[in-house]
Amino acid sequence: MACAALCSVALLLGIVIAPAQADVAGRPVKIVALGDSLTAGLGLPASEGFVPRLQAALTAKGIAAEVINAGVSGDTASDALARLDWSVPGDTDAVILEVGANDMMRGLKPQLTRMALDTILQRLKERHIAVLLCGMRAAPNLGADYAAAFEAIYPDLAGKYGVSLYPFFLDGVAADLGRLQRDGLHPNAAGVEVMVAAILPKVEQLIAQIRDRRSL
């Protein structure tokens, strides 16, 4: 009798729990793009910024993912850290982290940028959120010493926390006037398409990583 009762409970639990597990495994991967104006899409129509074009590229490939735009123009790494908790909600699976360009443009000490990014990555790790860290290069006029200290931040921290690294967010776009807006800093619509095509394989790997984690 006791065995029958236990079997009934196990069966009941199986009925209740299995659909919930299936739901978690099957729901779209939620990715927050945490960044500055390059992520936000400054100067572009809403549909032509980095996040909507990345979303469109994933959808076109039949990949179930939702990309949230948490880019704020003008943000430094410290600004992103200050708003981390409310910019990255509890149901986030992954973060595309793109900050540091404004730190560099303002000539902030690389150590400050490093410390802020380190803290962001530490807190995301504690929340078990996967990260794709996007690197940035320093402007030549800042000098070789500054460039070396600044550009080392991204591979160093990617290695420290074991997260994926996309070495240069503006790869294929920086210094190409045909892919930049008039300010010579932000990508135009053509530039965004180049950026999305280049980073897409890394984003797909990030999503696969999350799918694998859910299946465990």
pLDDT of residue 25: 61
- CA-only gyration radius of the chain, Å: 20
Spatial CB neighbours of 189, under 8 Å, sequence gap ≥ 6: 44, 45, 48
Q: Which two tokens stand for residue 46?
A: 């809403």
pLDDT of residue 146: 98
Cα–Cα distance, 185 to 14 (Å, whole number): 55
Q: Which two tokens stand for residue 144?
A: 């070789």
Tell me the average pLDDT across 14-38: 72
Tell me if residue 79 is catalytic.
no
Strand order from edge to edge, sheet including 130-134: 65-71, 29-35, 94-98, 130-134, 164-166
> Choosing from 23, 91, 183, 212, which is the catalytic residue?
183
Spatial CB neighbours of 197, under 8 Å, sequence gap ≥ 6: 57
pLDDT at 94 over 70: yes
Tell me if residue 156 is catalytic.
no
Domains of the chain (ranges, CATH numbers): 29-215 (3.40.50.1110)
pLDDT of residue 24: 58
> Choosing from 36, 37, 75, 103, which is the catalytic residue?
37
No. of helices (H) and no. of strands (E), the chain = 10, 5
Cα–Cα distance, 143 to 97 (Å, whole number): 25
Tell me if residue 37 is catalytic.
yes
Tell me the average pLDDT across 109-123: 98
pLDDT of residue 215: 87
DSSP assigned state of 97: E
What global pTM score does this model have?
0.88
